[in-house]
Amino acid sequence: MVSMSCRVMPMNASTVRPQFRRWASRCGAAALVLSLLGATMDRASAEDSAPADAPTTRFDGVWQTTLSCPNSHGALGYSFRFPSIVKAGVLHGEKGNRGEPGWLQVDGSISADGKATLYVDGLVGAADFAVGRRPAGTGYGYHIAAAFTVAEGEGHRTEGRECSVVWKRQQ
């Protein structure tokens, strides 16, 4: 028979055996709680030590996206609201119909620490809203630097016209 003192017993899949049950009944609830807490801390520690660029699922889900650009250099301001989906840490949002004026998409990866560099690709919807009055259907693109928590995100355009983006995770 294996002798077990009342010390904190490491918890993992191999320790859930009959001798664990005997140990838990002899050592009491406090030791059991400490063992479970240790297992939780080990798991959290392993997640925290993952590289920042490792794929993550903590941001996965549907996000309400609001992209806003104020009046700038003679162009009128605008604000769009559309859904974005994050799967395995990769964000994709799309507004409108691909290939038609006013369409845009936002794509990129969110790292485990919540930082993201995203790219917006789109087609001008109306000349009055485009810097330089570019005609409807003209292509454009720019980068967004963003930061996410598990509930929300914020970002801003890094070149050209000033724009901001806000994400709210949907339940």
Buried b vs exposed e over 57-89: b needs ≥16 C-beta within 10 Å?
A: eebbeebebebebeeeeebeebebebebebeeb
pTM of the model: 0.68
Query: Within 10 A of 123 (CB to CB), how many other CB atoms are there?
Result: 19
* Annotated domain spans of the chain: 13-48, 61-169
> Would you write out the chain's pLDDT as a tens digit for each of its 171 residues?
444 444 444 444 444 344 434 434 444 433 433 333 343 334 344 444 555 555 689 999 999 999 999 999 999 999 999 999 999 999 999 999 999 999 999 999 999 999 999 999 999 999 999 999 999 999 999 999 999 999 999 999 999 999 999 999 998
**Torsion of Cα atoms, 13 then 50 then 169 then 39, to 10°:** 30
Indicate the CATH number of 61-169 among 1.10.3470, 2.40.160, 3.30.70, 3.90.930. 2.40.160
